[in-house]
Amino acid sequence: MSAMNALQPAYGRLLQASARWGFDPVRLRQHLRTAFAACLALLAAWQLGLEHPQWAAMATWAASQPLRGQLLEKSFFRVAGTVAGTAVGVGLVLLAQGNLLWLVLGLAVWLGLCAGVGNLQRSFVAYGTMLAGYSAAMVALLDFAHPEQVFALGWDRLFTALTGVFAALLVGWLFTPKGSGIPGNAEVRQLFAQLLRDLAGSLQARGRASLGSQEIAARLLAMAVIEEGLDPHAAGSQRSREAVHALRRLMNAQISALLWLRDAPSQEPPSAFGEAQALAAAQALREAALALETRVQLHEAAAALVRAREAAMAWPGAADMLAPMGFALQAHLAATHDVTLPPGHRARQWPVVLHSDWLGARRAMLRASAAIAIVGLLWVATGWSGGAYMLLGMSIMLTVFSGFENLSATMRHVTLGQALGVLVALACQWLVWPFASSQAGMVWLMLPFVFVGALLFSHQRTMLSGYDCNMVLLLLLQPHFPQPASFGHALALGLAVVSGPLAGWAAYRFILPVTLQGRLQGLRSMMVHELQDMAATPGHARDGRIWRARLYHRLLRLVRMSEQAAGQLGAQAAECGLAALHVGRAIQALHQLSEEAALGDGTARAVRAALLRLQRLQQSPGQCPPLLRALAQRVAERHPGQARQLRQAAHEIAQHEAFFRNAG
């Protein structure tokens, strides 16, 4: 024990010194730990007599995570995905009975289904779903000619995965930190405090102060960057999920307030909201901001927000805007302090609804099925010996990477990593393994190469390719003594493996191409189509809080993707997203008017005409503003709130006509 204690500081100094050679010390610590766990998994699987012990090491690398909660949850979904995929793979082999054509077509359907459903999921659930796809391919393709052995192969795949996951959990639980708070908490609080000061200034000026589009876009982008990385931190415990959920609700409340600030100059406060009320509300908001910034008695901020809302009650629009901010802050503070909200807490009235890319999921499903079927049929026709490995590589590319946005860069790094893996595997097979006199010797001689993969995975120049290098290295290193294949056969297998990402890249390039611009266009399309559905279906429009929550998340994605695609702030994207919010509110106002019993026949016909026109918003957005303005004039006297929503929507559609027209 004393020796271990003495070695720890030296190990820490060595890790820190590694930065001088281009390594990331934090990543190096994690990946060396994972490499150690992978070696344990490899040795354990070999001792258990499993046919492919290297698969256990692959499972360890795949399950590795920097925090315990993430490790636990990813391990669970890895096991679940492996079990489901193995069962399907065995079933396909048994159904095909040696008929390669039927096996290929069955895999195409299954992989397409996994790719499509996986794109609708998030984080480790998506990972498990896609893993089920290529696990089936691994079982079905590697020994398809011997269906009588498929059960043995399936059990081997399952037990190697379980061995690898267990090793990852054992080493990870002993040496992986539990983790601290949710990343982004401090940044979101700072943005919240800044927003409170802006609101204070606007209320004190009785709505005459607002934020410019560039500033709003900058704040939305800051929240979008934080939101983008939240999903993995919701893993591992109910507390983590609640903390992430509360943080997202806090961001949604800020988006609503930013919209109010943007439109503040057009909102005339009631005469009852005088200077005294404005000063009291502004003072309470500044107190809340100060409490958040100093991080001393954070609950004081929530209490100050309650006082601000009470002071602003004479201005219903301002009070309604402050209400979700106060409740969201209370929920956030409760989550960060591990306090359970009471069942009836009003924060629960403002849901968090995340965007699901249905268009991307459909394209991923069709692309995976089509590409696997095409390449599989070529394999059937040619009888190429490396076809199974190529299809296996494609199955991974077309599932795991189907949700990525910059696929050209991703495929480049994947191809480089897999090529490195092939070279390292060949070096082990033909330069090192000849010195082995038994299978045990081969297994032990593999271990240093596992650590080579960890070094590549941790270096700044190779970290984007290191993971693929590891996985291909282990896929090709099958410790069977003596080596049954020639160098030429090993090289051919290596080339077949590398052809997988190349074929995957071609599929992404030519079969329903994936580009960042395309994903951005799909997001815009879903935003506008949802508005059209709301206009067509009163029930869809009534559940306004769900629609707004989903649109808030889509707005953050829109700003982030626009910034990535154009390399600029995305102020125009922010304005377009906020315009969609206004149009949605106007549609809700129209449905409210349509239910008005005392509405005159002419006004009722005008409401129906406006709703019909908004159902075709994408086809002819320019025809909507005149109808909305005329209707607003009709109802202004009896329904001033709805009239204001209609005028705002008309203005936004006219200002951003291209956004609504080009959304298809």
pLDDT band at 1 (very low <50, low <70, confident <90, very high): very low
> Burial level of 25, CB count in 10 A (0-12/13-18/19+)?
middle
Coil, strand or helix at 459: strand
CA 212 to chain centre: 29
Coil, strand or helix at 639: coil
In this structure, the dihedral spanned by the alpha carbons of residues 307, 309, 315 and 316, taken in order and rounded to 10 degrees, is: -150
123-138 residue pLDDT tens: 889 999 999 999 999 8
Amino acid at 628: L
> Burial level of 536, CB count in 10 A (0-12/13-18/19+)?
middle
Structure-token pair, residue 259? 């919209």
Maximum C-alpha span of the chain: 95
User: Within a 10 A sphere around the Cβ of 196, how many other Cβ atoms?
Assistant: 30
Highest mean pLDDT among 208-217, 344-353, 478-487, 627-636: 627-636
pLDDT at 569 over 70: no
pLDDT at 42: 94
CB 116 within 8 A of CB 131: no
Coil, strand or helix at 23: strand
pLDDT (mean) for 180-195: 85
526-564 residue pLDDT tens: 999 999 999 998 876 567 788 889 999 999 999 998 888
CA 153 to chain centre: 33
pLDDT at 647: 94
Residue carrying structure tokens 């395309």: 518
Beta strands in 367-459 (DSSP E): none
Instruction: For residue 459, report the phi and psi dihedrals to the nearest 5 degrees.
Output: -85, 145
Question: How far are the Cα atoms of 62, 125, 357, 526 from residue 120, in angstroms, in the given order?
Answer: 21, 10, 6, 14
Query: In sequence order, what are the residues at sequence separation of 6 or more whose Cβ sits closer than 8 angstroms to the Cβ of residue 7?
Result: none
How far apart CA 360 and CA 402 sit, in angstroms, is 8
CB 378 within 8 A of CB 372: no
pLDDT at 3 over 50: no
pLDDT (mean) for 478-494: 85
In this structure, the dihedral spanned by the alpha carbons of residues 278, 284, 290 and 295, taken in order and rounded to 10 degrees, is: -150
Alpha-helical segments (H) within 97-184: 100-118, 123-141, 150-175
39-96 residue pLDDT tens: 999 999 999 999 899 999 999 998 888 878 888 888 899 999 999 999 999 999 999 8
Coil, strand or helix at 499: helix
**Average confidence score pLDDT of the chain:** 87
pLDDT band at 10 (very low <50, low <70, confident <90, very high): confident
Structure-token pair, residue 223? 């929240």
How far apart CA 424 and CA 431 sit, in angstroms, is 10
The structure's pTM equals: 0.86
CA 240 to chain centre: 16
Dihedral of alpha carbons 313, 315, 317, 318, sign: negative
Structure-token pair, residue 527? 């935003």
Judged by average pLDDT, the poorest of 160-164, 389-393, 564-568 is: 564-568
Question: How far are the Cα atoms of 90, 134, 161, 371 from residue 141, in angstroms, in the given order?
Answer: 10, 10, 17, 16
CB 615 within 8 A of CB 535: yes
Structure-token pair, residue 256? 């609503």
Alpha-helical segments (H) within 205-237: 213-228
pLDDT at 375: 93
User: DSSP code of 428?
Assistant: I
pLDDT at 179: 61
| Segment (H or E) for 51 | none
Alpha-helical segments (H) within 337-357: none
pLDDT at 295: 67
pLDDT at 181 over 90: no
pLDDT band at 257 (very low <50, low <70, confident <90, very high): very high
Amino acid at 45: A
Rounded to a whole number of angstroms, the CA Rg of the chain reads 29
Residues recorded for the chain: 664
Coil, strand or helix at 46: helix
| CA proximity to 625, closest of 649, 609, 589, 658 | 649
| CA proximity to 96, closest of 45, 139, 66, 47 | 139
| Segment (H or E) for 319 | helix 316-336
Instruction: For residue 98, report the phi and psi dihedrals to the nearest 5 degrees.
Output: 85, -10
Percent of the chain with pLDDT strictly greater than 90: 44
336-377 residue pLDDT tens: 776 666 666 666 677 888 999 999 999 999 999 999 999 999
* 18 compared with 133, residue with greater pLDDT: 133
Structure-token pair, residue 594? 């349509």
Go through 360-384 and write b for each residue having 16 or more CB atoms within 10 A of its CB, e for each that does not: bbebbbebbbbbbbebbeebbeeee
pLDDT band at 333 (very low <50, low <70, confident <90, very high): confident
User: DSSP code of 268?
Assistant: P
Report the number of secondary-structure helices (H) and strands (E) in the chain.
27, 0
How far apart CA 137 and CA 141 sit, in angstroms, is 6
pLDDT (mean) for 588-592: 90
∠489-492-496 over CA atoms, to 5°?
A: 140
| CA proximity to 115, closest of 101, 132, 103, 137 | 132
pLDDT at 633: 93
